[in-house]
């Protein structure tokens, strides 16, 4: 087979899922099938993602992607904007694999109408996000970032005040912790919290079978019984704004809320009101209604009680490597004519 007969693949990576990781994984999966891999570096996370044309959470790089896809039949990417315009410009494209838990950067209707298969990489960051959730929870409960800032940045021993009864934090052992959602991330968080000795409760109307912890029948019941709540639900039309002023008011006074799932699950204005009133004693957030978090956000006014991180839950080297391998495995199946494992079109 000549170079002209090889399958051209574009590895449109970024500064997290590196193009080189994708290329090596694709070549391994391709085996004896000749492939020509072209690497393209997109700007995320050094440049924020956002809506691009009709897709969400993509790098603003339609022109660069169109140029790189010349002659390509396969695209593997994390943040590449696979829009109507991109698909129309490259009719030879047959397979798109997104290195993420869902292809939010792909116009699925346009892909379907052009007979382009679209795959994704479920579960790639479940362990990392679960670990990060527990880390944020511990940081919020024990005021770790605030004490660090006082001592390491300001040279002040005032953080010792967190040892007073009034200001000391909660420990996980015997603490009632409610999980909203019990998918790949929530189930791992539940296992970890059970190991700490927390009294874990779970609300997820879609999960059947055995769970770690106590299943409760309604969100309201979970909120009333939990000193800490962590969010793990998927963002849908039905879950947008899932936790608002009414729901926060159901929590015991002084409760703690953690969100490493999706920002729009939570009404941030209501959260700030609850922090201001003392209904919540602390919160830890990794995701927000708007990203990047706008300058002057009201959340910044609660630095003594809120832990804020810039959407880092899935940021581990293992996640980048797993994402490349999962995506490349789909390319290998497609090259061999086998059924695709995680395909939406």
| Residues paired with 12 in a beta bridge | 40, 77
Select from 298, 296, 259, 292 the least CA-distant residue to 275.
298
Q: Is residue 345 part of a domain?
A: no
Domain-embedded: residue 276: yes
Q: Which long-range contacts (CB under 8 A, 24 or more apart) does 163-169 make?
A: 167/143, 169/141, 169/142, 169/143
Task: Look at residue 42 and tell me if it is in a domain.
Answer: yes
Tens of pLDDT, residue by residue over 17-58, are 999 999 999 999 999 999 999 999 999 999 999 999 999 899
Q: Domain total for the chain?
A: 2
| 226 and 104 Cβ atoms separated by less than 8 Å | no
Q: Is 132 left (phi over 0), alpha (psi -120 to 50) or beta?
A: alpha
Q: Is the pLDDT of residue 2 over 50?
A: no
Q: Domain of 14: which CATH number?
A: 3.40.50.720
pLDDT digits (tens, 9 = 90+) for 221-230: 999 999 999 9
pLDDT higher than 70, residue 1: no
220 in the same domain as 291: yes
Same domain, 87 and 224: no
Annotated catalytic residue 262? yes
State mean pLDDT over 292-298.
Answer: 94
Q: Are residues 8 and 143 in the same domain?
A: no
Average pLDDT over residues 103-122: 97
**ω before 45 within 30° of 0 (cis)?**
yes
Q: What pLDDT score does 4 carry?
A: 56
Judge if 32 and 172 occupy the same domain.
no
Q: What is the chain's mean pLDDT, rounded?
A: 96
Rounded CA Rg of the chain: 22
Q: 3-class SS at 306?
A: strand
Segment 142-200, tens digit of pLDDT: 999 999 999 999 999 999 999 999 999 999 999 999 999 999 999 999 999 999 999 99
Looking at the structure, tell me whether residues 165 and 189 fall in a common domain. Answer: yes
pLDDT tens profile 202-218: 999 999 999 999 999 99
Q: What's the pLDDT score for residue 5?
A: 79
Whole-model pTM?
Answer: 0.92
Averaged pLDDT, 269-277: 98
Q: Are residues 114 and 152 located together in one domain of the fold?
A: no
Q: What number is the average pLDDT over the span 120-132?
A: 96
Q: 344 lies in a domain?
A: no
Residues 33 and 167 in one domain: no
Q: Is 311 a catalytic residue?
A: yes
Same domain? 99 vs 239: no
Given 85, 124, 311, 342, the catalytic residue: 311
Is the predicted pLDDT of residue 338 greater than 50, yes or no?
yes
Q: Tell whether 342 is covered by a domain.
A: no
Q: Which domain holds residue 274?
A: 126-308
Instruction: Considering the candidates 47, 64, 291, 321, report the single residue annotated as catalytic.
Output: 291
Residue 341 domain flag? no
154 and 73 in a common domain: no
Q: Is 291 a catalytic residue?
A: yes
Asked whether the predicted pLDDT for residue 251 surpasses 90, the reply is yes
What residues contact 316, with CB distance under 8 A and at least 6 apart?
Answer: 125, 128
Q: Clarify whether residues 153 and 242 are in a common domain.
A: yes
Residue 57 counted as domain residue: yes
Has residue 3 got a pLDDT over 80? no
Cβ–Cβ < 8 Å for 173, 195: no
100, 262, 333, 342: which is the annotated catalytic residue? 262
In a domain, 259, yes or no: yes
Do 141 and 106 have their domain in common? no
* 301 and 327 both lie in a single domain: no
If pLDDT is split at 50, 70 and 90, which confidence band does 345 have?
Answer: confident
């Amino acid at each position: 087979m000549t170079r002209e007969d090889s399958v051209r693949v574009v590895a449109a990576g970024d500064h997290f899922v590196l193009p080189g990781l994708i290329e090596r994984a694709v070549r391994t999966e391709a085996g004896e099938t000749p492939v020509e891999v072209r690497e393209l570096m997109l700007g995320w996370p050094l440049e924020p993602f956002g809506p691009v044309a009709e897709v969400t959470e993509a790098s603003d790089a339609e022109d660069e992607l169109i140029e790189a896809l010349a002659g390509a039949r396969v695209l593997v990417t994390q943040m590449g904007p696979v829009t109507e315009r991109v698909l129309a410009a490259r009719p030879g494209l047959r397979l798109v694999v997104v290195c993420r838990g869902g292809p939010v950067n792909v116009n699925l209707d346009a892909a379907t109408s052009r007979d382009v298969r679209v795959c994704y990489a479920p579960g790639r960051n479940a362990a990392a996000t679960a670990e990060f959730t527990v880390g944020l929870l511990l940081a919020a409960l024990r005021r770790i970032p605030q004490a660090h800032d006082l001592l390491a940045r300001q040279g002040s021993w005032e953080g010792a005040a967190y040892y007073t009864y009034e200001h000391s934090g909660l420990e996980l052992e015997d603490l009632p912790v409610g999980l909203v959602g019990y998918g790949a991330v929530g189930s791992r968080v539940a296992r970890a919290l059970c190991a700490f000795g927390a009294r874990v409760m779970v609300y997820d109307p879609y999960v059947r079978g055995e769970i770690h912890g106590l299943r409760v029948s309604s969100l309201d019941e979970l909120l009333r019984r939990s000193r800490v709540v962590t969010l793990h639900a998927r963002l849908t039309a039905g879950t947008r704004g899932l936790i608002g002023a009414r729901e926060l008011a159901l929590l015991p006074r002084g409760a703690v809320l953690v969100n490493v799932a999706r920002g729009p699950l939570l009404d941030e204005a209501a959260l700030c009101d609850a922090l201001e009133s003392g209904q919540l004693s602390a919160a830890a957030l990794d995701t927000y209604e708007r990203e990047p978090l706008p300058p002057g956000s009201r959340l910044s006014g609660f630095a003594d009680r809120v832990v804020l991180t810039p959407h880092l839950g899935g940021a581990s080297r293992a996640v980048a490597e797993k994402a490349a391998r999962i995506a490349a495995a789909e390319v290998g199946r497609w090259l061999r004519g086998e059924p695709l494992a995680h395909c939406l079109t």
